[in-house]
Amino acid sequence: MTRKQRRLSLIALALAVLGTAAGLVLFALNDSIVFFYGPTDVVEKAIKPGTRFRIGGLVKEGSIQRGPDQTVRFEVTDTNRAVPVTYQGLLPDLFRDGQGVVAEGALQPSGEFRADSVLAKHDENYMPKEVAEALKKQGVWQPSAASAGSAAKPASAEAKPGS
């Protein structure tokens, strides 16, 4: 075997090992990757039942129903479409009608989303980044309500022209 052939076979072996390692890493991460969808995306993309993902939007006004054993049913909406969600457990203190929410779980065959965890905004100026982007995409984002991922500036902090 010549020097050039040895070098090429070494490079080919190194690429094969790297390719195998990358494939194994991607395979291992496949179960832990959780995608984010808005309610319109869930309806339009016809996501298969059992698929784990995060759904985000606003809690639809008047949709919260509390049941036995800390079971709560509500709808997540982007003002275009709504997806029913069921969650069993304690909800965040700030969870209420019209507030931004992100729920993680799986879609059921009935079309209902069964959530494992529910996250609500942490103050009156915060909207989860994913929810804000989904609402912007739908054209219903209200910039006066909040800015994505950060608190809004107080009016006194704004610069006045000519100052």
Indicate whether 69 and 111 sit together in one domain: yes
Indicate whether 79 and 50 sit together in one domain: yes
Indicate whether 121 and 76 sit together in one domain: yes
Indicate whether 57 and 78 sit together in one domain: yes
Give the number of domains in the chain. 2
The DSSP output letter for 157 is G
Indicate whether 68 and 18 sit together in one domain: no
Q: What is the pLDDT of residues 132-150, one digit of tens each?
A: 777 777 666 665 544 444 3
- Going by pLDDT thresholds of 50, 70 and 90, the confidence category of residue 127 is low
Indicate whether 18 and 39 sit together in one domain: no
- Going by pLDDT thresholds of 50, 70 and 90, the confidence category of residue 31 is low
Q: What is the mean pLDDT of the chain?
A: 79
Environment class of residue 41 by beta-carbon count within 10 Å: exposed (0-12), middle (13-18) or buried (19+)? buried
Is 141 marked within a binding site?
Answer: no
Indicate whether 23 and 93 sit together in one domain: no
Average pLDDT over residues 41-54: 86
11 assigned to some structural domain: yes
- Going by pLDDT thresholds of 50, 70 and 90, the confidence category of residue 151 is very low
Of 107 and 158, more confident: 107
Which of these, 53, 47, 50, 48, lies nearest to 35 by C-alpha position? Answer: 53
- Per-residue confidence (pLDDT) for residue 137, from 0 to 100: 75
Question: What is the residue range of 6's domain?
Answer: 1-29
Indicate whether 78 and 122 sit together in one domain: yes
Is 37 marked within a binding site?
Answer: no
Indicate whether 20 and 54 sit together in one domain: no
- Per-residue confidence (pLDDT) for residue 126, from 0 to 100: 56
Q: Rounded to two decimals, what is the model's pTM? A: 0.60
Whether the Cβ atoms of residue 103 and residue 119 lie closer than 8 Å to each other: yes
